[in-house]
């Protein structure tokens, strides 16, 4: 079998690795025009800030590919001939495939703003993007970043590292309004303030203004304000790369449409990662999941299907994490931004420090845990995942919170305060008792 994978991002590479394991004899070819080798997309910001160099953000040394017989082609796939089962490349000869995976990723989504094509206006998705940003930002005094999500804060942090004054435009009334509850967002807002980022909430970009040389000089906002900016970052989300699917008979919508086995409408052609859109995602799950972790899981799943072990994509309880400047965030399961009927949230926040924990649960007899958010605290993924899969009660989770504590040694432990706060907020319930403190040693002693 010859498996051709278009895209060497996390979805494509995980598929290649998994396929290599499942079919040691298969020929596997990865095609990418973005970079000769796989790299960590979430690490692009660290390149810009000088924390690391290009080789440092490659998850595998260069010998890895040849030793595992994963052929790399640094070329641009221009067209697919589904009948001939061929992929045409810009420079090299066409590749004949038995199975084809489209892991073409996504690109910055623009909303048709006037002036969006001016020099100095860009997003941050690809290696080329960060190189462009490095080339465009020297000398920039003021920048505007559009978008109150994860990439928006990343861009603000990157620019801050070069002492560029940043204004962040956030459409919602608070940061990441579609995902974060107000309390978590308030901690992020405080963190942004601490790092000197000006944030304008409830504000959208309406127009980008240029100078005579075709460079951006300012933006106009929905508040009617004109903000001077020599660089504008667009962080309002991404859109799947669909170009390769055009004219092939592969059905697309916003993304490349796939069934639950990540097969497209054309037999032998699959899609995974940021470019894929599930036709019928299970309730509560998004059709497109443009995320490192889901890209990895989709790559793993689709490799099984390709290698003759048809496997539906079931990612299990949701998880994600981020870091807003110095503030770490983790989430497990479902924690909606706004309370929903029949559900409740318990939020604990440290009186003085930027630490918070939310346990979201269903208001049934059992008080079933639905999800957790942490700010400034680290939780143990396995424990949280176990609670969510088993349908543990929020009471059980709180009483055993120490088991989930993943903070380093000597960090203050807050489990007792958290349980006390819950007891105080829920006087009608039988008071909880903290049963599990932190650490593997305690784990051993308590058995």
Partner 1 sequence: MTTSTIFSSPQPLAQPVHDTPMAERGWLAAVALGLLALLVAAAAPEGLCGPAFWLGLGALSAGTLGWSRYKFGRGPAGVRHNNLWARASTARGAVAWVTGLVLTGFYVVLYWWPQYLENLIRPLDGLSHALRQKPADQWFLYGTFYTLAVLLMGGRALYKYRHSPYQRVRTVSVVFFQLGFAWLLPGLLLALQKPEFYFSYFWPLKYDYLFPGTVDYLVRDGQALGVFMVFWGAVMSFVATPVLTYFFGKRWYCSWVCGCGGLAETAGDPYRHLSDKSRAAWRWEVRLIYPILGFIVLVTALLWLGAAGLLPGWFTSSHSSGLPLVDGLSPVEGLSKVYGFFIGSIFSGVIGVGFYPILGNRVWCRFGCPMAAYLGLLQKHFSRFRISTNGGQCISCGNCSNVCEMGIDVKQYAQRGEPIIRAACVGCGLCSTACPRGVLNLENGPREGRYQASALISAESLRILE
Which of residues 1, 26, 52, 82 is near partner 1 by CB under 8 A? 52
Q: State in angstroms the smallest separation of the CB of 324 from partner 1.
A: 10
Whether the CB-CB separation of 50 and 334 falls below 8 Å is answered with: no
Q: State in angstroms the smallest separation of the CB of 365 from partner 1.
A: 27
Q: Counting contacts by CB under 8 A, is residue 61 touching partner 1? A: yes
Which of residues 110, 201, 293, 347 is near partner 1 by CB under 8 A? 293
Which of residues 10, 31, 189, 269 is near partner 1 by CB under 8 A? 10
Which of residues 32, 33, 34, 48 is near partner 1 by CB under 8 A? 48
The helix (H) or strand (E) run that includes residue 294 is helix 292-306
Q: Counting contacts by CB under 8 A, is residue 436 touching partner 1? A: no
End-to-end Cα spacing for the chain = 50
Q: How many residues bind partner 1 (CB under 8 A)?
A: 72
| CA neighbor of 375 nearest in space, from 393, 350, 396 | 350
Q: Which stretch binds partner 1 (CB under 8 A): 213-221, 291-299, 341-349, 357-365?
A: 291-299
Q: Counting contacts by CB under 8 A, is residue 330 touching partner 1? A: yes
> What are the structure tokens assigned to 355, written together?
């630490």
Q: Counting contacts by CB under 8 A, is residue 36 touching partner 1? A: no
Strand partners, 228: 218
Q: State in angstroms the smallest separation of the CB of 263 from partner 1.
A: 17
CA distance 18 to 406: 29
Which of residues 261, 323, 400, 436 is near partner 1 by CB under 8 A? 323
Which of residues 28, 297, 306, 375 is near partner 1 by CB under 8 A? 297
Whether the CB-CB separation of 89 and 76 falls below 8 Å is answered with: yes
Q: Where are the alpha helices (DSSP H) in 325-378?
A: none
Q: What is the DSSP letter of 162?
A: T
Interface positions, 177-206, toward partner 1 (CB under 8 A) = 191, 194-195
Q: Which stretch binds partner 1 (CB under 8 A): 1-9, 178-186, 203-211, 322-330?
A: 322-330
Q: Which stretch binds partner 1 (CB under 8 A): 338-346, 361-369, 417-425, 439-447?
A: 439-447
Which of residues 283, 410, 427, 428 is near partner 1 by CB under 8 A? 410
Phi, psi of 194 (to 5 degrees): -55, -30
Strand-pair category, 70-73 with 27-31: parallel
Nearer to partner 1, 254 or 443 (CB): 443
Q: Which stretch binds partner 1 (CB under 8 A): 141-149, 318-326, 336-344, 417-425?
A: 318-326
Q: Which stretch binds partner 1 (CB under 8 A): 29-37, 48-56, 83-91, 281-289?
A: 48-56
Interface positions, 343-372, toward partner 1 (CB under 8 A) = none
Q: State in angstroms the smallest separation of the CB of 36 from partner 1.
A: 13
> What are the structure tokens assigned to 127, written together?
């290696």
Q: State in angstroms the smallest separation of the CB of 338 from partner 1.
A: 26
For 289, other C-beta atoms within 10 Å of its C-beta total: 22
Q: Counting contacts by CB under 8 A, is residue 69 touching partner 1? A: no
CA distance 394 to 9: 37
Which of residues 25, 212, 365, 409 is near partner 1 by CB under 8 A? 409
Whether the CB-CB separation of 292 and 276 falls below 8 Å is answered with: no
Q: Counting contacts by CB under 8 A, is residue 21 touching partner 1? A: yes
Interface positions, 369-408, toward partner 1 (CB under 8 A) = 378-382, 385, 406-408
| CA neighbor of 38 nearest in space, from 66, 21, 15, 62 | 62
Whether the CB-CB separation of 345 and 357 falls below 8 Å is answered with: no
Q: Counting contacts by CB under 8 A, is residue 231 touching partner 1? A: no
| CA neighbor of 335 nearest in space, from 188, 190, 185, 154 | 185
Strand partners, 38: none
Interacting residues of 231 by C-beta distance below 8 A, sequence separation 6+: 120, 121, 133, 136, 137, 140, 143, 144, 159, 164, 216
Q: Counting contacts by CB under 8 A, is residue 130 touching partner 1? A: yes
> What are the structure tokens assigned to 264, written together?
């497209």
Phi, psi of 218 (to 5 degrees): -165, 170
HSE-CB at 320 with a 13 A cutoff on CA atoms is 16
Q: Counting contacts by CB under 8 A, is residue 314 touching partner 1? A: yes
Q: Counting contacts by CB under 8 A, is residue 17 touching partner 1? A: yes
Interface positions, 153-172, toward partner 1 (CB under 8 A) = 161-163
CA distance 417 to 412: 11
CA distance 120 to 229: 9
Environment class of 90 (CB within 10 Å of its CB; exposed 0-12, middle 13-18, buried 19+): exposed
Q: State in angstroms the smallest separation of the CB of 352 from partner 1.
A: 14
Nearer to partner 1, 2 or 380 (CB): 380
Which of residues 172, 183, 207, 328 is near partner 1 by CB under 8 A? 328
Q: Which stretch binds partner 1 (CB under 8 A): 58-66, 95-103, 167-175, 217-225?
A: 58-66
């Amino acid at each position: 079998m010859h498996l051709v994978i278009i895209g060497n991002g996390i979805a494509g590479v995980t598929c290649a690795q998994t396929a290599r394991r499942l079919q040691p004899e298969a020929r596997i070819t990865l095609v990418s025009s973005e970079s000769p080798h796989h790299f960590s997309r979430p690490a692009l910001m660290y390149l810009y800030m000088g924390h690391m160099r290009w080789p440092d953000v490659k998850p595998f040394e260069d010998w890895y590919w040849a030793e595992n017989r994963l052929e790399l082609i640094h070329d641009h796939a221009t067209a697919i001939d589904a009948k001939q089962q061929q992929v045409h490349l810009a420079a090299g000869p066409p590749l004949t495939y038995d199975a084809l995976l489209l892991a073409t990723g996504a690109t910055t989504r623009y909303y048709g703003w006037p002036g969006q094509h001016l020099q100095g206006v860009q997003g941050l998705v690809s290696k080329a993007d960060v190189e462009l940003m490095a080339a465009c930002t020297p000398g920039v005094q003021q920048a505007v970043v559009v978008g109150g999500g994860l990439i928006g804060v990343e861009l603000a942090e990157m620019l801050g590292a070069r002492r560029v004054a940043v204004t962040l435009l956030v459409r919602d009334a608070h940061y990441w309004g579609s995902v974060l509850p107000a309390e978590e967002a308030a901690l992020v807002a405080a963190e942004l303030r601490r790092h000197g980022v000006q944030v304008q909430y409830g504000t959208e970009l309406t127009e980008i203004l240029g100078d005579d040389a075709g460079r951006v000089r300012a933006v106009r906002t929905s508040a009617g304000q004109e903000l001077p900016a020599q660089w504008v970052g667009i962080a309002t989300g991404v859109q799947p790369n669909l170009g390769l699917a055009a004219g092939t008979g592969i059905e697309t919508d916003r993304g490349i449409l796939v069934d639950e086995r990540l097969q497209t409408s054309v037999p032998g052609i699959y899609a995974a990662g940021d470019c894929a859109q599930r036709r019928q995602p299970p309730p509560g799950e998004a059709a497109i999941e443009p995320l490192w972790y889901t890209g990895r899981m989709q790559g793993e799943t689709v490799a099984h299907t390709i290698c003759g072990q048809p496997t539906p994509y079931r990612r299990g309880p949701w998880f994600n994490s981020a870091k807003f400047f110095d503030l770490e965030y983790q989430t497990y399961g479902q924690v909606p931004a706004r309370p929903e009927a029949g559900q409740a949230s318990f939020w604990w926040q440290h009186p003085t420090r930027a630490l918070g924990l939310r346990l979201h649960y269903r208001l049934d007899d059992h008080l079933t845990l639905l999800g957790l958010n942490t700010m400034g605290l680290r939780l143990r993924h396995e424990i949280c995942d176990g609670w969510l899969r088993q349908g543990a009660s929020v009471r059980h989770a709180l009483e055993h919170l120490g088991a989930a504590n993943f903070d380093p040694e000597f960090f203050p432990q807050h489990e007792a305060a958290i349980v006390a706060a819950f007891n105080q907020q829920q006087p009608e319930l039988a008071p909880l008792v903290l049963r599990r403190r932190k650490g593997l040693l305690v784990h051993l002693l308590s058995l």
